[in-house]
Amino acid sequence: MRLHSLDLQNIRIHDSFWSKHVDLVRNVIIPYQWEAMNDRIPDAESSHCLENFRIAAGRAQGKFYGAVFQDTDVAKWLEAVGFSLACYPDEELEKLADGAIDLIAEAQQEDGYINTYFTVEEPDGRWTNLREGHELYTAGHLMEAAVAYYQGTGKRKFLDCMCRFADLLCETFGIEDGKIHGYPGHEEVEIGLIKLGCVTGRGKYLDLAKYFIDARGVGENYFLKEMSRPGYKRIFPELMNYQPEYSQSHLPVRQQTTAEGHAVRAVYLYCAMADLAEAYQDEELLRACETLWENMTQRRMYITGGIGSSGILERFTTDYDLPNGFNYSESCASIGLALFGLRMNQITRDAKYMDVVERALYNTVLAGVALDGRSFFYVNPLEVWPPSCMEGTSRQHVKPVRQKWFGVACCPPNIARTLASLGQYIYAVDEEKKALYVNLFVSNESDISLGDTETHVKLETEFPMKNYVSLRADHVPACGMEIYLRVPEYAQDYTVCVDGKAYAVMPEQGYVRVSVGQDCEICVHFEAPARFLYANPEVRADAGKVAIMRGPLVYCLEEADNGQNLAGICVDTEKGLEEVPSALFGDTVLLKASGQRIVGHHAGEGLYGTKRPEMENVELTAVPYPYWGNRGEGEMLVWIRERL
Amino acid sequence: MRLHSLDLQNIRIHDSFWSKHVDLVRNVIIPYQWEAMNDRIPDAESSHCLENFRIAAGRAQGKFYGAVFQDTDVAKWLEAVGFSLACYPDEELEKLADGAIDLIAEAQQEDGYINTYFTVEEPDGRWTNLREGHELYTAGHLMEAAVAYYQGTGKRKFLDCMCRFADLLCETFGIEDGKIHGYPGHEEVEIGLIKLGCVTGRGKYLDLAKYFIDARGVGENYFLKEMSRPGYKRIFPELMNYQPEYSQSHLPVRQQTTAEGHAVRAVYLYCAMADLAEAYQDEELLRACETLWENMTQRRMYITGGIGSSGILERFTTDYDLPNGFNYSESCASIGLALFGLRMNQITRDAKYMDVVERALYNTVLAGVALDGRSFFYVNPLEVWPPSCMEGTSRQHVKPVRQKWFGVACCPPNIARTLASLGQYIYAVDEEKKALYVNLFVSNESDISLGDTETHVKLETEFPMKNYVSLRADHVPACGMEIYLRVPEYAQDYTVCVDGKAYAVMPEQGYVRVSVGQDCEICVHFEAPARFLYANPEVRADAGKVAIMRGPLVYCLEEADNGQNLAGICVDTEKGLEEVPSALFGDTVLLKASGQRIVGHHAGEGLYGTKRPEMENVELTAVPYPYWGNRGEGEMLVWIRERL
């Protein structure tokens, strides 16, 4: 029996670190994105995604505009709204969302089909291009949104729409004769079907998800077959030389051992694999998930939790290939990594997965959105020199400043739905065994149903500024409960007190288990000083360099604090790091270090010479990576040369 | 009056360094490329370029295949053959080439037009796509080839064909009403027209070249206008978001101050600008050339003489943006750089241009071809880690091993024609002033016409292995002559003896001038020990690193000598470099250095940790960059971390 997250209704976050980001979702991001989706943000890239629905619904005339998966921006926005309404009821917002849902329902075809691109542009092209058409991908996001909206509001209209669509999919796809024996070019519908199946109790949706997973990469590749059919219409020019690895269809999923291809596709697939491994008690599938997780997180992940290092095709490359200045590391890929890790944690009850989830959430996911909630990164570099981030070059995907919106539907609403659902990452619960797992150190008050008891838990902390956590549990079940406290990988000297008394126990699978017989207060403290980190020497890009972390936060140098030419800096690791609380970025700890830097500017001097550049001592200031790029355009650097 | 190169007939190279490469041209490369152009090399990419001519000539049936500029492989091959026959008459080869020329003549249209793509595929599309169609580019290479073949064999057939084509161009393009007011999307025809004009004495060909140069980038951009015409047919998907900088048409050429866009296009343009600046005594144009040269060589050039750092669009990016592991640095761009530098040297008589020409020829150009003459680099990286050079990633253009051929016509025959014409870089002559400039230290015997005298010059050297050069001049004109000896930028303690007597004189514009009244022997010796070089600190990619050079040769580390993980190595510059003569690569000097490297292999260990990798002392072996990749696939590194 897997663990599950708390319903968002039952958790109220009021945290010194996260609230300023999470609160942005309802106060700024959701309204802002509504404007963006209506093309009302000046100087932002055009969206047109609501207009596409209006056209498909017959309310407006016109042509489809945007990526073929443009509908997903609406879907992810509605999912974020669903999550938000669960925590913070808001009549006006609900009305707005109900209106969007009415629109979707009107755009739904008689047989249940929803997709504005194919409805408007290619009504005869349905399901003829699973490789590039993104119909199933789009369906999955709509299903996820419908489930979130149902859970957040109790309203079934959207859910019912999506059940009709899912029923159509069940009739259309499958192993049976007469059905299409294909699978999605971009995985996601599997997640949507699983959620829809769980919330409605309709096993056939899970069965279809299982079909998609089982069929993938088996026998002749579906996409290569599809491409060779007469009339096959190419959509994405970059997919000219299509490799099945791109969509993880190169091998049956159970035989895959390395994270390959488009990173977002990959992690969405792995999420579904994990869910299905648990649902069908499929040990082989779970082993495949574990193997893929290990490969991805131990050989192909940036220290920031970024994955997918190639700018071309947004994909994984090879073990230890993690260049810093031209990487991709899409925000959505780290979101998917967190979703996969969450599932693996809930299935295996191993805290190691949450170490990676935390790394992704605190660094890459959070870096994806500006502190004001109004601009976003799609790509998350670890080193930026703005003049070199030029259009039409090998670094064209790297942006030195966040963009207001993206013509290609994707990251901004994905970040919104992730922040809006942060509550699902904090705890995991085993109702049967009356066990509560504390995974993230985020202040909150929660009502936790443990069988017939509603236990009230209050977690207070100033983490990651300070490494104290207090957990007050009231209305503990009469039979007692187990509280599993995650010991993060970076903790030294982890101590636990229960009602003021030291509680010494060895962690198992990364958790200290506290058996609680009555209402109590648990205090946790751990040492986690700021530290220098080295990459595995196989990572060529980081040779001779160090990164700085404090708790789960990666730090970086910015031009705003350290001047230009950050590459010309080296840090003296022997002299250590000084922690300096600061009001910068709301409230943070800056890290000061000693180092050296090249003296002066050298533009206009000769290009190559025998004279070693002169160095001078300098004090360095590092800031949390998630906050970089909030002070105008400038250089940024995570991996700093070490002075030896 | 500009200097000129010697006719290739008058110079016989027999050099300890160059002959093994130059001799490959007639012994291996020319026959090999003939086979490649006939699609007879097993497992090589298809060429089809001669078959295209057969189809255009009506000798064969079929469809055009290849890049729209596929004809240029034939042109460059014929140019190489022309150069080769000038030095080494070869009846059989001449017969083969005559046959190819007959084929070209048959493929020529009634009105003089030659282009197999447009003739076969788009007979109505002539001149409608100057941006992408490459007709003028192709014409230029054919003209250069015709001139070389005429000069090498005295045969006029090809030259006459190309004059007819040039006449057609003169009727078609120009400022006059009724002519097309366009200019080539890829510069090259200007060079061809200038050569054709000079050899035939027809000023109108130079005038047309001048028109193309003068019109470029003036007023409304021709290519943007062209694209907006109905029926405009896109050829290259990568040129979707066309920027005029790509083809140096963003500004009138005299106003351009930075090297922009596609690097080969740029340097071919600059060559023509230099020629025309001299031909029309256009000071403004010469100033523009000087400014562009300075920008390119002092801010945008690799230490290897590579230019054009972006893999996407093969283009210049911005000052000091010179990444090592994913750069482009096309072989042809360095060839064009050498051609531009040669012209600037002959116009200004400043040796600084030859320093760069020498750098490009000894390093990037020579690296472009394997020691056996049978495989080639298009892209010349400064750092290679083979597993990361994957198709469909940001490093897809970087190849760890030379390829047998390229489906896209380009570098291999360009390298061939460059090696075959090495003689034109060694000396420059001012007949009027009876002056001889010695630019490259390459052993040869030459007959140099100085007015009515034929002076015989014999240069002997083991450069770059040893830095002694002896120059014997016989039949010196009665009125005497001036010999200008280039003092290379890396020379320390340059000494000159004339007939055994020390000759002390300060160099001017990089030359020591020796006034010679009679037959004599001049001996030059200079100190040029192996040295470590630093990049300008503005080059972020080289911070904390050194490169190694000896004379004009850049050195690199290879896996074959130094094991895997070259990034994990640092070199102890204080301990210096030891020069070790070796029979490797025919005959070379290896460089030994002391350093440290990371101990052991770490694949499979954790990705990030607090423990500094252990280092061990190690002796390093560096080999000349032009010879890298001749011992199988492996890592290679030019910029090495410095141990401080």
3-state secondary structure A46-57: CCCHHHHHHHHC
Listed range (A213-222, A605-614, B40-49, B306-315) with the worst mean pLDDT: B40-49
pLDDT at B58: 96
The CB density around residue A605, as the number of other CB atoms within 10 Å, is 13
The whole-angstrom separation of Cα A62 and Cα A40 is 18
The whole-angstrom separation of Cα A184 and Cα A187 is 6
Q: For residues B272 and B379, state if they share a domain.
A: yes
The CB density around residue B333, as the number of other CB atoms within 10 Å, is 30
Question: B527, B547, B581: which is the final residue of a domain?
Answer: B527
Concatenating the DSSP letter of every residue in B508-543 gives BTTEEEEEESSSEEEEEEEE---EEEEE-TT-GGGT
Give the number of domains in chain A: 3
Strand partners, A180: A173
List, as ranges, residues 15-54 from B with C-beta within 8 Å of A: none
Strands B553-558 and B520-527: unpaired
Of B314, B358, B460, B559, which one is the catalytic site residue? B314
Across chain B, mean pLDDT equals 96
Strands A520-527 and A468-474: antiparallel
Q: For residues A341 and A415, state if they share a domain.
A: yes
**Peptide bond before B381: cis, by omega within 30 degrees of 0?**
no
The whole-angstrom separation of Cα A477 and Cα A416 is 35
Q: For residues B408 and B263, state if they share a domain.
A: yes
At residue A452's C-alpha, the angle toward residues A449 and A454, to 5°, is 40
Q: For residues B260 and B375, state if they share a domain.
A: yes
> CA separation (Å) from A359 to A305, A353, A402, A511, B261?
5, 10, 21, 17, 40
Distance (Å) from the C-alpha of residue B55 to the closest C-alpha of chain A? 28
Beta carbons of B440 and B17 less than 8 angstroms apart: no
The whole-angstrom separation of Cα A532 and Cα A577 is 8
B554 touches chain A (CB under 8 A): no
Q: What are phi and psi of A542, to 5 degrees?
A: -110, 10
A467: Cα separation from own chain's centroid: 24
Beta carbons of A482 and A498 less than 8 angstroms apart: no
Rounded to a whole number, what is the distance in angstroms from the first to the last CA of chain B?
51
Q: Is residue B196 part of a domain?
A: no
Q: Is residue B312 part of a domain?
A: yes
Strands B520-527 and B492-498: antiparallel
A572 touches chain B (CB under 8 A): no
Concatenating the DSSP letter of every residue in A185-226 gives SS--HHHHHHHHHHHHT-HHHHHHHHHHHHHTT-SS-HHHHH
Length of chain A: 644
pLDDT in tens, B206-264: 999 999 999 999 999 999 999 999 989 999 988 888 999 999 999 999 999 999 999 99
The whole-angstrom separation of Cα B198 and Cα B146 is 13
Q: What are phi and psi of B383, to 5 degrees?
A: -155, 130
pLDDT at B629: 97
Which amino acid belongs to residue B430? Answer: D
Give the pair of three-digit tokens for residue B198. 């000079």
Extended strands (E) in B529-639: 531-535, 545-550, 553-558, 569-571, 577-582, 588-598, 608-609, 615-624, 636-637
A326 touches chain B (CB under 8 A): yes
List, as ranges, residues 351-390 from B with C-beta within 8 Å of A: 385, 387-388, 390
Distance (Å) from the C-alpha of residue B248 to the closest C-alpha of chain A? 14
A455-484 exposure pattern, b = at least 16 Cβ within 10 A, e = fewer: bbbebbbebbbebebebebeebbeeebbbb
A36-70 exposure pattern, b = at least 16 Cβ within 10 A, e = fewer: bbebebeebeebbbbbbbbbbbeeeeeebbbbbbb
Distance (Å) from the C-alpha of residue B536 to the closest C-alpha of chain A? 5
B537 touches chain A (CB under 8 A): yes
Q: For residues B381 and B489, state if they share a domain.
A: no
Determine which helix (DSSP H) or strand (DSSP E) holds A276, and give its type and residue range: helix A263-279
The whole-angstrom separation of Cα A512 and Cα A504 is 9
A534 touches chain B (CB under 8 A): yes
Residues of A whose CB is below 8 A from B394: 310-312, 323, 326, 394
The whole-angstrom separation of Cα B231 and Cα B492 is 62
Q: For residues A408 and A434, state if they share a domain.
A: no
Give the pair of three-digit tokens for residue B248. 């140096």
Q: Is residue B598 part of a domain?
A: yes
CATH of residue A494's domain is 2.60.420
User: Which residue out of A295, A322, A601, A607 would a mutagenesis test of the B interface target, given it has the greatest number of B Cβ atoms within 10 Å?
Assistant: A607
pLDDT at A587: 86
Over chain A (644 residues), the average pLDDT of each successive run of 10 is: 95 96 95 94 90 97 95 96 97 98 98 98 96 97 98 98 98 97 98 98 98 97 94 89 96 98 98 98 98 98 98 97 97 98 98 98 97 95 98 96 83 94 97 96 96 93 97 96 97 95 93 96 96 98 98 98 97 98 94 96 94 97 98 98 92
User: Which residue out of B607, B612, B644 would a mutagenesis test of the A interface target, given it has the greatest number of A Cβ atoms within 10 Å?
Assistant: B607
The whole-angstrom separation of Cα A493 and Cα B135 is 73
Beta carbons of B595 and B572 less than 8 angstroms apart: yes
Distance (Å) from the C-alpha of residue B393 to the closest C-alpha of chain A? 5
CATH of residue B334's domain is 1.50.10.20
Residues of A whose CB is below 8 A from B301: 607
Q: For residues B462 and B539, state if they share a domain.
A: no
B295: Cα separation from own chain's centroid: 18
| Interface ipTM | 0.95
Q: For residues A450 and A322, state if they share a domain.
A: no
Q: For residues A544 and A493, state if they share a domain.
A: no
| SS3 readout for B188-255 | CHHHHHHHHHHHHCCHHHHHHHHHHHHHCCCCCCHHHHHHCCCCCCCCCHHHCCCCHHHHCCCCCHHH
Q: Is residue A91 part of a domain?
A: no
The whole-angstrom separation of Cα A495 and Cα A505 is 9
Domain that includes residue B544, residue range: 532-642
Q: Is residue B402 part of a domain?
A: yes
Which amino acid belongs to residue B245? Answer: E
Residues of B whose CB is below 8 A from A533: 608-610
User: Strand B453-461's sheet: what is its strand order?
Assistant: B11-13, B444-450, B453-461, B468-474, B520-527, B492-498, B501-502
Please give the residue of chain A at the shortest CA–CA distance from B544: A568
pLDDT at A524: 97
Q: Is residue A31 part of a domain?
A: no
Q: What are phi and psi of B46, to 5 degrees?
A: -75, 145
Distance (Å) from the C-alpha of residue B275 to the closest C-alpha of chain A? 27
Q: For residues A415 and A440, state if they share a domain.
A: no
pLDDT at A45: 86
Q: For residues B556 and B431, state if they share a domain.
A: no
Give the pair of three-digit tokens for residue A74. 């609406």
Q: Which residue has the tokens 């106060």?
A: A27
pLDDT at B291: 98
The whole-angstrom separation of Cα A234 and Cα A459 is 52
Give me the helix-helix angle, A71-87 and A49-56, nearest 10°.
110
Q: Which of B299, B601, B605 sits opposite A607 (nearest CB)?
A: B299
User: Which residue out of B299, B533, B540 would a mutagenesis test of the A interface target, given it has the greatest number of A Cβ atoms within 10 Å?
Assistant: B540
Q: Is the pLDDT of residue B409 over 80?
A: no
Question: A511, A527, A543: which is the final residue of a domain?
Answer: A527
Total CB pairs under 8 A between chain A and B:
193
Beta carbons of B612 and A329 less than 8 angstroms apart: no
Q: For residues A511 and A538, state if they share a domain.
A: no
Question: A527, A551, A574: which is the final residue of a domain?
Answer: A527
Of B163, B271, B332, B410, which one is the catalytic site residue? B410
* Beta carbons of A613 and B534 less than 8 Å apart: yes
Determine which helix (DSSP H) or strand (DSSP E) holds A78, and give its type and residue range: helix A71-87
In sign, the C-alpha dihedral spanning A99, A101, A104, A109 is negative
pLDDT at A410: 82
Please report, to the nearest 10 degrees, the dihedral formed by the alpha carbons of residues B329, B330, B333, B337 taken in order: 50
List, as ranges, residues 586-625 from A with C-beta within 8 Å of B: 598, 601-613
Identify the three-state secondary structure at position A265: helix
Residues of A whose CB is below 8 A from B533: 608-610
Identify the three-state secondary structure at position B564: coil
Residues of A whose CB is below 8 A from B382: none
pLDDT in tens, B452-497: 889 999 999 999 999 999 999 999 999 999 999 999 999 999 999 9
Q: Is residue B599 part of a domain?
A: yes
* Beta carbons of A390 and B568 less than 8 Å apart: no
Q: Is residue A60 part of a domain?
A: no
Residues of B whose CB is below 8 A from A297: 607
**Residues whose CB is less than 8 angstroms from the CB of residue B594 and which lie 6 or more positions away in sequence, other chains included:** B571, B572, B575, B617, B618, B619, B620
pLDDT at A421: 97
Beta carbons of B102 and B78 less than 8 angstroms apart: no
Strands A588-598 and B608-609: unpaired
Task: List active site positions of A.
Answer: 314, 410
Residues of A whose CB is below 8 A from B304: none
> CA separation (Å) from A440 to A148, A346, A422, A425, A467?
22, 14, 10, 7, 12
